Structure 1
Amino acid sequence: MTYQNILSELKEQILYVTINREHKLNALNKETLAELADVIAVASQQDEVRGVLLTGAGEKAFVAGADISEFSDYNGEQGEELARKGQELVFNAIEKCPKPVVAAINGFALGGGLELAMACHIRVGADHAKLGLPETSLGLIPGYGGTQRLTQIIGKGKAIEMIATADMISAEDAEKIGLLNYVVPQSELIAKAESILNRIKLRAPLAIAAAIKSVNSAFDVEANGFEIEIKEFGLCFNTEDFKEGTRAFLEKRKPVFQGK
Structure 2
Amino acid sequence: MTISTQLHDNGTFVVTMDYPPVNALPVAGWFRLAEAVREAGEDPAVHVVLLRAEGRGFNAGVDIKEMQRTAGHDALVGANRGCYLAFKAIYECAVPVIAAVNGFCLGGGVGLVGNCDTIIAADDAYFGVPEVDRGALGAATHLARLVPQHLMRTLYFTSRTIAANDLVQHGSVLETVPAADLHDAALALAAEVAAKDPRVIRAAKAALNGIDPIDVNRSYRYEQGYTFELNLIGAADEHRDAFVATGRPLTD
Please classify the TM superposition score into its range, dividing by the shorter chain length: 0.7 to 0.9
* Aligned positions of 1:51-200 closer than 5 A: 51-58=48-55, 60-72=56-68, 79=76, 82-87=79-84, 89-142=85-138, 146-200=139-193
Q: What amino acid sits opposite 1:136 in the alignment?
A: V
Indicate conservation of the 8 Å contact 2:27/2:79, yes or no. Answer: no
**What is the deviation of 1:219?**
2.8
2:27 paired with 1:34? no
**What is the deviation of 1:150?**
2.1
1:190-240 Cα offsets, whole Å, 9 max, x none, are 122112211112212122112112212233557xxxxxxxxxxxxxxxxxx
> What secondary structure, in the 3-state scheme, does the structure 1 residue paired with 2:44 have?
coil
Aligned partners of 1:174, 1:130: CA distance in 2, in Å? 9
Structure-2 change in CA distance of 1:84 and 1:158 (3 Å): same
**What is the deviation of 1:101?**
1.0
Aligned length: 213
Structure-2 change in CA distance of 1:30 and 1:175 (3 Å): same
> What secondary structure, in the 3-state scheme, does the structure 2 residue paired with 1:163 have?
helix
Aligned partners of 1:96, 1:211: CA distance in 2, in Å? 12
* Residue in 1 that maps onto 2:41: 44
**What is the deviation of 1:82?**
4.3
> What secondary structure, in the 3-state scheme, does the structure 1 residue paired with 2:58 have?
strand
TM-score with structure 2 setting the length: 0.77
TM-score with structure 1 setting the length: 0.75
2:15 paired with 1:17? yes
Consecutive unaligned residues of structure 2, counting only runs of 5 or more, are 216-252
1:47-69 Cα offsets, whole Å, 9 max, x none, are 111111111112x2001221012
**Max radius of gyration: which structure?**
1
Q: What amino acid sits opposite 1:180 in the alignment?
A: V
**What is the deviation of 1:74?**
8.4
Indicate conservation of the 8 Å contact 2:98/2:116, yes or no. Answer: yes
Aligned partners of 2:58, 2:79: CA distance in 1, in Å? 21
Aligned partners of 2:34, 2:212: CA distance in 1, in Å? 22
Aligned partners of 2:140, 2:2: CA distance in 1, in Å? 27
**Cα-Cα RMSD:** 2.2
Aligned partners of 1:166, 1:69: CA distance in 2, in Å? 20
Indicate conservation of the 8 Å contact 1:28/1:67, yes or no. Answer: yes
1:67-115 Cα offsets, whole Å, 9 max, x none, are 012334788998567434531x211111110111111101110111121
**What is the deviation of 1:155?**
2.3
Q: Which has the higher contact order (CA 8 A, sep 6+)?
A: 2
Aligned partners of 1:81, 1:35: CA distance in 2, in Å? 12
> What secondary structure, in the 3-state scheme, does the structure 1 residue paired with 2:120 have?
strand
Runs of 4+ in 1 over 6 A off after TM superposition: 73-78
Aligned partners of 1:199, 1:75: CA distance in 2, in Å? 47
2:213 paired with 1:216? no
Indicate conservation of the 8 Å contact 2:26/2:79, yes or no. Answer: no
Q: What amino acid sits opposite 1:164 in the alignment?
A: F
Indicate conservation of the 8 Å contact 1:131/1:174, yes or no. Answer: no
Structure-2 change in CA distance of 1:173 and 1:221 (3 Å): closer
**What is the deviation of 1:178?**
2.6
